[in-house]
């Protein structure tokens, strides 16, 4: 079954856990508007954390690469919610997840579901984190 999710205004962790669960159950999940997903917490701490992961603070980066594209940030978070994404069930579930920036033409007319994200106090959007 194909599930199309409009992710605008949804908290990143809640979105990732729900999408991972759907993918593990065997559903094909399409996440739209990844640039409008929000990360809750202190704005400065979140930006410093992402910049440190990218190797922009201090010396040259060594180790894993962290993407700056908003759809890849969302997909990496979903990957973290899956069991053993390198083999078996996790790999198959991750292959069933597709993330897009904006809404592609083929999904404009499809019915989109929304994930409840609860209360939000301090937050920053993924697009703001991915700019710098």
Angle at 19 between CA 14 and CA 100, to 5 degrees: 100
- The whole-number pLDDT of residue 132 equals 58
Q: Which residues contact 48 (CB under 8 A, 6 or more apart)?
A: 57
Note the pTM of the prediction, 2 decimals. Answer: 0.85
Tens of pLDDT, residue by residue over 35-79, are 999 998 888 888 888 877 776 545 555 666 677 888 999 999 999
Domain architecture of the chain: domains with CATH: 2-131 (3.90.1180.10)
Largest CA distance in the chain: 48
Tens of pLDDT, residue by residue over 89-127, are 999 999 999 999 999 999 999 999 998 877 677 888 888
Residue 32, CA atoms < 13 Å, CB-side half-sphere: 17
**Other beta carbons less than 10 A from residue 59's beta carbon:** 6
What does the block give as tokens for 66? 């962290």
Residue 41: name the closest of 50, 31, 52 by CA: 50
Distance, CA of 119 to CA of 97 (rounded, Å) = 26
8 Å CB contact between 82 and 24: yes
């Amino acid at each position: 079954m194909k599930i199309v999710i409009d992710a605008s205004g949804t908290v990143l962790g809640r979105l990732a856990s729900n999408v991972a669960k759907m993918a593990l159950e065997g559903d094909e999940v399409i996440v739209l508007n990844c640039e409008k997903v929000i990360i809750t917490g202190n704005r400065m701490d979140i930006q410093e954390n992402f910049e440190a992961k990218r190797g922009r603070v201090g010396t040259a980066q060594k180790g894993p690469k962290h993407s700056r594209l908003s759809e890849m940030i969302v997909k990496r978070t979903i990957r973290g919610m899956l069991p053993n994404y390198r083999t078996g069930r996790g790999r198959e579930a991750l292959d069933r997840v597709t993330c897009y920036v904006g809404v592609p033409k083929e999904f404009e007319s499809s019915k989109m579901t929304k994930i409840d994200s609860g209360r939000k106090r301090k937050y920053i959007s993924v697009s703001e984190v991915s700019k710098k």
